[in-house]
Amino acid sequence: MREERKVVVAVLVSGGGTNLQAILDAEKRGELPHARVGIVVSSRPDAYALKRAEEAGVPTAVAERKKCASQEEFEGEIERAIESVGAEVIVLAGFMSILSEKFTSRYPERIINVHPSLIPKFCGKGFYGLKVHEAVLAAGEKVTGATVHYVNEIPDGGRIIFQKEVAVREDDTPETLQRRVMEEAEWKLLPRAVELTAERIASENFAK
């Protein structure tokens, strides 16, 4: 059987990098036969995710929004980092900056995001991190979960790839709920979505 070239993935981060770690671990276990992480780009120079990347032997880059004169300059730095390794898939793994329509339209159904709720519930502008889990608990929801979707110009508005439900417990805090959603849903769905997308792109490239 002919060995196919792996599709290069760029992971965009801003913080601890737990979702990045889930992808790196899946790659190490051989669960991403069509993909490999080629670069990690952080919006913060002190993000722990950069250390995770370095420990895995993955090149890194930093693009700080506050040091750029405009959104266009910021996205230009990200794009140069992505193009430096020939990445064809972009993963937003706890990336805290909104990307413009001009940027997202360049990569139709090639930018993947994970959101810690069952879209269309508790999503869109203002819903991120612990705020999502606080809203879930305040609403008295019995079930929450995570959604992996493609990114377009609308926050959390792109086509859904996978969703997984997670039960809400009576004694949950936003922190315990966040952790369980990550463990039971995010860390499982995200690597699967990366592989699914990379397999599609590899097939498209082979057909050319």
Q: Which domains does the chain have, with CATH numbers?
A: 7-207 (3.40.50.170)
The catalytic residue among 34, 115, 133, 149 is 115
Phi-psi group of 90: left, alpha or beta (phi > 0 → left; psi -120 to 50 → alpha; rest → beta)? beta
Q: CA torsion sign, 77 to 155 to 14 to 112?
A: negative
3-state secondary structure of 56: coil
Structure confidence at residue 208 (pLDDT): 63
Beta pairing partners, 147: 115, 163
Is the pLDDT at 5 greater than 70, yes or no? Answer: yes
Tokens of 177: 């709920």
3/30: higher pLDDT: 30
Q: Identify the band that residue 155 occupies on the pLDDT scale cut at 50, 70 and 90.
A: confident
Contact yes or no for 144/136 (Cβ under 8 A): yes
Structure confidence at residue 207 (pLDDT): 67
Structure confidence at residue 204 (pLDDT): 86
Closest CA to 154 of 115, 196, 195: 115
Is the pLDDT at 2 greater than 50, yes or no? Answer: no
CA 20 – CA 106 distance, rounded (Å): 23
Q: Identify the band that residue 4 occupies on the pLDDT scale cut at 50, 70 and 90.
A: low
List pLDDT tens digits, range 90-143.
Answer: 999 999 998 999 999 999 999 999 999 999 999 988 898 999 999 999 999 999
Average pLDDT over residues 24-37: 98
List pLDDT tens digits, range 55-68.
Answer: 999 999 999 999 99
Closest CA to 133 of 201, 85, 202, 181: 181
CA 38 – CA 119 distance, rounded (Å): 29
Structure confidence at residue 126 (pLDDT): 86
Residue that is written with structure tokens 């990690």 in the block: 40
Phi-psi group of 191: left, alpha or beta (phi > 0 → left; psi -120 to 50 → alpha; rest → beta)? alpha
Structure confidence at residue 16 (pLDDT): 95
Mean pLDDT for the chain? 95
What's the DSSP call for residue 68?
Answer: S
Please say if 115 is a catalytic residue: yes
Structure confidence at residue 1 (pLDDT): 31
Average pLDDT over residues 26-50: 97
